[in-house]
Amino acid sequence: MLNYKDWNISIIVVILIAVIGIFIYSFLDPSSASKQLSSAYSFLALKFEKTFQYGALALIVFLITFAVSNKGATKIKIDGRDEYSLLSWGVMVFTAGMGASILYWSPIEWAYYFNDPPFNLVDNLDQKSLLSRTYSNFHWGLTGWAIYTIPALAFAVSLNKNPETSLTFSGIFFPNPNNIFKRFAGLFLDFIFIISIISGAAIAIGVSFPLIAVFISNVFDIKSSSFTELIVLLICFVIVCSSSILGLSKGIKRLSIINIFFVFVLLSAFLMLGPTKEILNLSSESLGALVKNFLKMSTYNGDNFVQDWTVFYWAWWLALSPFVGSFIVSISNGKTLRELILGTMFIGALGSILHFLIIGNYSYILFSSNEMDIPRLVSDGNANQAILAIIQTLPFENIFLCLYSIVMLIFLCTTYDSCAYVLASAGMKSAKQNPDFLLRIIFASLLMLLPGLFLFVDGLEFTKNILLISSIPLLLVFVGMMYISVRDV
């Protein structure tokens, strides 16, 4: 039943302005906009690299200390929200937090690092190979999921204190604005909230649908084109609309469980049909290197590698964290803060790292055995073709191309659906109110505008630059959320 009186009109207007504004700014003069944002990225990445590095490490220490303290036993209570088993909850957390981008990066990310290695290891082949595989586990592991956890914790604490809190930054910092300064400050914080969500989701979505289109074109022997990519987007939109009508438990929950089953089948196929013993040996080796070098990687700075990759990844996790954090708390009714923190960090990190240990090491073996020069393919700008060729080395290649496409498509849908759900939740006056499905459909439609940019401009690089710029204010917001979490619990 729709009740427009429950809509937070100011937040809805901010969302509309942010989405349409970014689209117009980039579409009218994409070349000029891209140059401006690229210059801003280079400056900010250099200026804030130490802040990102040391700050991310501090988050892990803070969260683990909070979880094991007496404060961690506090139970989350959200009126009007369902309670989920640990399995269902963990599945939804992972699928919302990851998305299809993990299947894009897991076969090829090590190759980028191999071409441009950290620690000046250009001439040390063994160490370059080891750390190129280890850095993927670092960028997608514990630190990233710790970044996701901070907003989830702050939202949970705020909702326990005030059940009427809206799931936005203004809801955390200014739940009852009683003067014009607080109202304007709240609107500014919400603008940051919305821009971060949009830019983070746009990258996750934007790298995925062109790759799915390539797979579909190959399976059906048709030419890959912008039209094929548009069809993928429309299919995704139809699924998201259906999920929105079904609701959270029947929609996102079912999609997530179905997808985890397919992910398990896919990872098992790479592991069992590939050189199993070699994959396991390389996995053990790279995990050992991750433990040994974690502190070194977390404090490494003064290198283009850190500015181009680690800063980008921490900014990406930061930009997505308001979306993922508010979604996680929406499904965490009945959980303790300790379960929220440790579950999000370790379930998420384990699921992410498994993809790189299995698919990433499988593709590395293809390179090390001289079957495929993956680093050359990615350096030549043929990343999608490299991923396609990697999957085609499996037996029954068309079956696995279809399976890979289905997993990516459902991941894409859960990202869209979860993002639309969060934006719609922000558009409600109270977190006690489930977001109207009409709002979810409206925001899902708007979110399609930005991936549509990838059909016409260099949208990935463009959105990457917006992402870093929008994440800078979040550094201060995170400090505030950590303070509030300790103060208000």
Q: Phi then psi for 301, rounded to 5 degrees?
A: -155, 175
Q: What is the pTM of this model?
A: 0.85
Task: State yes or no: pLDDT of 416 exceeds 80.
Answer: no
Query: Please, which residues have CB within 8 angstroms of residue 6's CB and are 6 or more apart in sequence?
Result: 428, 429, 430, 433, 436
Which of 226-235, 247-256, 442-451 shows the lowest per-residue confidence on average (mean pLDDT)?
Answer: 247-256
Compute the distance between CA of residue 436 and CA of residue 428 in angstroms, rounded to an integer: 8
CATH of domain 4-488: 1.20.1740
> If pLDDT is split at 50, 70 and 90, which confidence band does 412 have?
confident
Q: What is the pLDDT of residue 124?
A: 79
Q: What is the pLDDT of residue 27?
A: 65
Which residue from 393, 418, 417, 388 is spatially nearest to 404, judged by alpha carbons? 388
pLDDT in tens, 431-451: 556 666 777 777 777 776 666
Q: What is the pLDDT of residue 374?
A: 96
Q: What is the pLDDT of residue 250?
A: 64
Q: What is the pLDDT of residue 14?
A: 72
pLDDT in tens, 87-143: 888 888 887 777 778 888 999 999 999 999 988 877 778 889 999 999 999 999 999
Query: Please, which residues have CB within 8 angstroms of residue 345's CB and are 6 or more apart in sequence?
Result: 60, 63, 142, 145, 146, 149
pLDDT in tens, 137-186: 999 999 999 999 999 999 999 988 888 777 788 888 887 777 788 888 88
Which residue from 481, 462, 482, 489 is spatially nearest to 193, judged by alpha carbons? 481
Place of tokens 């802040």: 51
Name the residue ranges covered by the structural domains of the chain: 4-488
Q: Phi then psi for 428, rounded to 5 degrees?
A: -100, 150
Q: Burial code of 184-195, b = ≥16 C-beta within 10 A, e = fewer?
A: ebbbebbbbbbb
Comparing 405 with 297, the larger pLDDT belongs to: 297
Task: State yes or no: pLDDT of 34 exceeds 90.
Answer: no
Compute the distance between CA of residue 450 and CA of residue 309 in angstroms, rounded to an integer: 23
Task: State yes or no: pLDDT of 387 exceeds 70.
Answer: yes
